[in-house]
Amino acid sequence: MHGIHGGRSAHLDKKTVEKVIQQLDSLTRYNGSPLLQRGHPYLPDITRDTKEHLCQILSKNSDLGQNQYLQVTVYSLLYKTEQCIQTSLVPSGACAGQDYLQVMRTLTKLSLIFSHILCELRALFPGGRYQGNIYRVTKLEASNFWSLAFGSRCLVKWEEFRNGLHPVHNIEAGPLESALRSTMDLTCNDHISVFEFDIFTRLFQPWDTLLQNWMLLAVTHPGYMAFLTYDEVKELLQGHIHKPGSYIFRLSCTHLGQWAIGYVTSSGSILQTIPHNKSLYEALNEGEKEGLYLYPNGLSSMHNLSSVSKLNPNTVIQVTQEQWELYSDMDSTFEMCKICTDNEKNVRIEPCGHLLCDKCLTSWQKNENTCPFCRHQITGKEKIHIASPLKQEEECAASAALASTSESFIDEEEVDWIRNRPLPPPPRPPALPRFHPSTYISPTPSAPPLPPYPPLLQTTLSQRMKLHAQDIINGGHN
């Protein structure tokens, strides 16, 4: 690729960006091309949105040449738009049979790559302004690794990335390295961005066995399909329509960082689903138990994923003695979900790390997909267990186990949420029944009519509610 694969650093200027925008604009007008199938991702729509986002970036960033990510991405787009234009211009009658299928496959893969580039641009340039240096990797351990290895940079060459990852996760040279590179490099530019790293670590969690998980799910598993669209999944599963339980899985192009599973139902129809807030091995294991996912790509051999289900040690959160005492003084506990105050916290929102119960998160996500405490976008959740403080005599024996647990803390954003939430109104007195004069019966001394609560009692109830709320506020903790 000119300026990237040529081994030399290319300077980026406004003129080059404008040239890419022009070529993207020409691709948006290929709606009538017989080679383009109307499905997602639809190339003219993707290139139109990419063009608009680049225009936004161009209008809000004066010094383009200093941004390495933008340099690499623009020159990658320049190469790929030229390739796409040349492929799309092939006359419909110029190729037939296998050649025609190859042209179609090339355009489909390019449409997926363009879709990935657009998602990455939106993630690192939200609203057109660069924020790649503060992009938050979803998984805590993965985020810590990237910060230690590459700092605030959002893009590194593959060789540098490989050398940084190798001491933590051994990467064997040869075909396996090439396969890993093709899985991670979604935008196909010989670099790994923090966004692509985030996607990969979400797909192949947990971190401790990251590459083993990738081997089991993407290298040796017959159900994995790379660079496949929704329509192609349906077409492929048509070959197994008489074998219910046949399934394949791929990266979702509409929800990057999540898996899409297509399968043949017992009635012979083909469905596709995206499992939310759970890892792929959990979804496949649950689907196998329910009789939905039985035959990967129609094969009768079962695929054991038990080694992927290793418990992440960071899912255990230890409550410190100080926290225990503070919440006891407030007549509460650290473990209690602060939204419902009924259930224990058992999930951690990703990437912000706030804790609450799964029931409240599920209910909240019916209308919102941002954290109720900090309003950061929710990209996933992780099951956690909060351990109570160990007794004094047990601490020495458990010190080694505690060393692997994540550090717990008093969350200031949750505290602010408690401080600012509206106070509940005082309880209203029961309403008196309405009497009609014709039906009025004088009360007997043994059953006098109940009057409304006296003003003094109403004031007392209101004060008690405010005092209770003030106790929580004065505690200064969640």
264-286 per-position pLDDT tens digit = 999 999 999 998 767 888 889 89
Lowest mean pLDDT among 26-30, 97-101, 157-161, 223-227: 97-101
Contact in structure between 30 and 107 (CB atoms under 8 Å): no
pLDDT at 414: 59
pLDDT for position 378: 83
Residue 430's pLDDT is 53
Q: Specify the pairing of strand 270-273 against strand 295-296.
A: unpaired
How many Cβ atoms sit within 10 Å of the Cβ of residue 266?
Answer: 9
State the Cα–Cα distance between residues 242 and 116, nearest whole angstrom.
Answer: 34
- Cα distance between residue 34 and residue 241, in whole Å: 28
pLDDT digits (tens, 9 = 90+) for 438-453: 444 444 444 444 444 3
Round the average pLDDT of the chain to a whole number and report it: 77
Classify domain 313-420 by CATH architecture: 2-Layer Sandwich (3.30)
Owner of token pair 């709320």: 469
- How far apart (Å, rounded) are the C-alpha atoms in residues 410 and 427? 32
Give the β-pairing of 270-273 and 347-350. unpaired
393 CB-near residues (< 8 Å, 6+ apart): none
pLDDT at 393 over 60: no
The per-residue pLDDT for 31 is 62
Given a cut of 90, is residue 74 above it in pLDDT?
yes
Does position 402 have pLDDT exceeding 60, yes or no? no
Helices (H) then strands (E): counts for the chain = 16, 11
- pLDDT of 468 reads 42
Mean pLDDT of 102-122: 90
Residue 227 pLDDT grade (very low, low, confident, very high; cuts 50, 70, 90): confident
Confidence band, pLDDT 50/70/90 cuts, at residue 400: very low
Spacing of C-alpha 9 from chain mean position: 33
What one-letter code names the amino acid at 302? M
Q: What is the DSSP letter of 335?
A: T
Cα 260 to Cα 39: distance, rounded to the nearest angstrom: 16
Sheet with 259-264, side-by-side order of all strands: 270-273, 259-264, 246-251, 295-296
Matching CATH number, 230-308, of 3.40.50.2300, 3.40.50.10190, 3.30.505.10, 3.40.50.11540: 3.30.505.10
DSSP labels, 42-86: PHHHHHHHHHHHHHHHHHH-S-GGG-HHHHHHHHHHHHHHHHHHH
Q: Identify the pLDDT of residue 185.
A: 96
In one-letter notation, the amino acid at residue 219 is V
What is the structure's pLDDT at 360? 87
- In terms of pLDDT, which residue wins out, 357 or 77? 77
pLDDT tens across 312-367, in order? 545 666 666 666 666 666 666 777 787 887 788 888 888 888 888 888 888 888 88
Instruction: Just give the CATH number of 14-130.
Output: 1.20.930.20
- Domain ranges (residues) in the chain: 14-130, 133-203, 230-308, 313-420
Q: Which tens digit of pLDDT belongs to each residue from 416-432?
A: 655 565 544 554 555 55
The domains spanning 14-130 and 230-308 adopt the same CATH topology: no
Percent of the chain with pLDDT over 90: 36
Which H or E run contains 201? Answer: helix 194-203
Minimum mean pLDDT range among 40-44, 170-174, 315-319? 315-319
DSSP 267-327: TS-EEEE---SS-HHHHHHHHHHTTSS-EETT--S----GGGGPPPGGGEEEPPHHHHHHH
Residue 454 has pLDDT above 90, yes or no: no
The DSSP H or E segment spanning 162 is: helix 158-165
| pLDDT tens-digit map of 240-258 | 999 999 999 999 888 888 8
The C-alpha atoms of residue 270 and residue 261 are separated, in whole angstroms, by 10
In 3D space, the residue among 87, 123, 93 whose CA is nearest the CA of residue 107 turns out to be: 87
Q: Return d(Cα 371, Cα 353) in angstroms, integer.
A: 9
**How high is the pLDDT of residue 398?**
40
The pair of structure tokens assigned to 204 is 């192949």
Q: What percent of the chain has pLDDT over 70?
A: 67
CA distance 387 to 395: 13
Which are the contacts of 239, defined by CB distance < 8 A and separation ≥ 6?
A: 298
Name the DSSP class of 425.
P
Q: How confident is the model at residue 66 (pLDDT cuts 50, 70, 90)?
A: confident
Which residue shows structure tokens 């007794």?
391
Residue 86 pLDDT grade (very low, low, confident, very high; cuts 50, 70, 90): confident
- CATH fold of 133-203 reads Recoverin; domain 1 (1.10.238)
